[in-house]
Structure 1
Amino acid sequence: MKKLITILSIFLLISFTINTVTAVAQPKIYSQGFYTMKDLNLSENTSYTVQNNEPYVEGLLIILDSDRKIQQLIRIPPSSTKNPIIPLKSDYKFIIYGNVKLIFS
Structure 2
Amino acid sequence: MNNLAVNAAPLNVKLTEGIYDIKDLKLMENTTYNIQNTSAGINLMIRMDGQQEVMESHRLLENSPKYTIGPFRYVDKIVLLGPGTVTITE
TM-score bin, normalised by smaller chain = 0.7 to 0.9
TM-score w.r.t. length of structure 1 = 0.73
Match of 1:46 in 2: 31
CA deviations on 1:22-61 (whole Å, 9 max, x unpaired) are 854141101000110122221101110100110x200000
Q: Say what the alpha-carbon RMSD is for the aligned residues.
A: 1.4
TM-score w.r.t. length of structure 2 = 0.85
**Which of 64, 72, 75 is residue 91 of structure 1 equivalent to?**
75
Match of 1:103 in 2: 87
**Which of 55, 67, 76 is residue 60 of structure 2 equivalent to?**
76
User: What amino acid is aligned across from residue 62 of structure 1 in structure 2?
Assistant: I
Q: Which has the higher contact order (CA 8 A, sep 6+)?
A: 2
Aligned partners of 1:41, 1:23: CA distance in 2, in Å?
A: 14
More helix by share: 1
Contact 2:11/2:88 (CA < 8 Å) preserved in 1? no
Over alpha carbons, which structure has the higher Rg?
A: 1
Aligned partners of 2:59, 2:37: CA distance in 1, in Å?
A: 10
Match of 1:30 in 2: 15
Consecutive unaligned residues of structure 2, counting only runs of 5 or more, are 1-6
Aligned length: 83
More strand by share: 2
